[in-house]
Chain A
Amino acid sequence: MTDTPIHRLGRFGSSWIVGLGRIANFAGGIVLAIVRPPWRVQRVVRAVYDAGVLSVALICGAGFAVGMVLGLQGYTTLVRFGAQESLGAVVGLVLIRELGPVVTGLLVIGRAGSATTAEIGAMVSTQQLDGLRMMSIDPMHFVVMPKALALAFVMPLLSSLFIVFGVFGGYVVGVELVGLDGGSYMASLENAVGFRDDVLQSLVKSAVFGALLGVIATYRGFTSPGNAMGVSRSTTSAVVTTSVWLLLADYVITAFWGV
């Protein structure tokens, strides 16, 4: 009798912990690959192009739409208390503290993270990584590191673009559509936002999200079983795992920031 629910729970628990250890080990390998020469600048630039530049239109459009919605929702709520002059503060703080890093994170997971896992997974299944190893090129160094580094690097940048476009979207709704004073929108925004509490928190969040995505997306691709089904499973798993960890990390960072 080794298949009682308790046994199964134990097996599940220990395999989960072993998995965490493997990911941590893998993350350490990426960090080592970053500091070890030769520096693959061209590979990193290419990965930044794939993950960052190609996401710009999506991020700007999404940011603008989210900002417009915040402007409209914020206005209809605030106007009940006669506080519609604080619309800028509401839109700005919500975007900078939460929606900027989180929505950007989720969008980049869907757009660039899934592509990364699928690409590395396909390379595994067509034995391209083994080919690299035969030429004594370390795939960690040549394939994994540039992609992970690029994901971690573009996340804060994309999040900032998202926030700026969101603030602009809120401005368009609040000032052009609803007819608030543009000066008081910007003034309440500038008064409410602080560097350490808000902007720095936002940048730290998106940097952490980017690092999480970089490690998990490449790990899932790298360890994907070499067949079509395996690649599709790894991709799904990368998207789901990273999304959940991102939201948990968001709460933890917010709580420890103490505001």
Chain B
Amino acid sequence: MKTSTAAVRDFVVGVFVLASLLAVAYLSASLGGLSYKGAGGFELVAIFDDIGGLSQRSPVKISGVKVGQVKAIQLDEDLRARVALDLDPSLELPIDSSASIRTAGLLGDQFVSLEPGAEDQLLGPGETFTYTESALSLDKLVGRLVHGDAFGDD
């Protein structure tokens, strides 16, 4: 029997399923961010008074370069925001590094910006940033200006 039509059909169906699964994988991994690209796994914690519009999967950047993402946001026992950052394990951050929440452009998305410090000792996995700077909110700023204590200390 020459190559039966059933065999040809099996092959074509196989190609179809494979191509479609590739499309699913592309959507999930590359677009959906369900990937280990940029190898996370190094977790650090930063505690902020106000995280503004920061959310899970917001990017973490150093000098504008993405080095990780926000893994979880919780309230700690002092009712402050405890933000867990999932970072590239090859990062070497001194213990006096600081974390601040910035906005991309005037109205853009918020992200965590890390500022490396100068000490020789490095932050280990799971440790907490000593210096943090909360989100700068435009409405608070305007409020202060209107009430005339723009340079007051809150």
**Interface of A with B (CB < 8 Å)?**
42, 45-46, 48-49, 52-53, 56, 92, 96, 154, 156-158, 160-161, 163-164, 167, 189-191, 193-195, 198-200, 202-203
Contact = CB atoms under 8 A, between A and B. Distances in A.
Contacts of B13: 45, 48-49, 52-53
Interface in B5-34: 6, 9-10, 12-13, 16-17, 19-21, 23-24, 26-28, 30-34
A156 B27 CA distance: 12
Nearest to B16: A53
B31 A199 contact: yes
B24 A203 contact: yes
Interface of B: 6, 9-10, 12-13, 16-17, 19-21, 23-24, 26-28, 30-34, 57, 59, 109
Contacts of B31: 92, 96, 167, 189-190, 193, 199
Contacts of A198: 32
A38 to B, nearest CB: 17
The 8 A-B pairs with the shortest beta carbon distances in the complex, nearest first, are: A157-B20, A195-B32, A160-B23, A199-B32, A195-B34, A193-B31, A164-B23, A160-B24
A154 B20 CA distance: 9
Contact of B17 (A46, A157, A199, A203): A157
Contacts of A202: 27
Contacts of B24: 156-157, 160, 203
Given A45-B10, A191-B59, A203-B24, 16 more contacts: A42-B6, A45-B9, A48-B17, A52-B13, A52-B16, A92-B31, A96-B27, A96-B31, A157-B16, A157-B17, A167-B31, A191-B109, A194-B32, A195-B28, A199-B31, A202-B27
B27 A164 contact: yes
Nearest to B56: A194
A200 B34 CA distance: 11
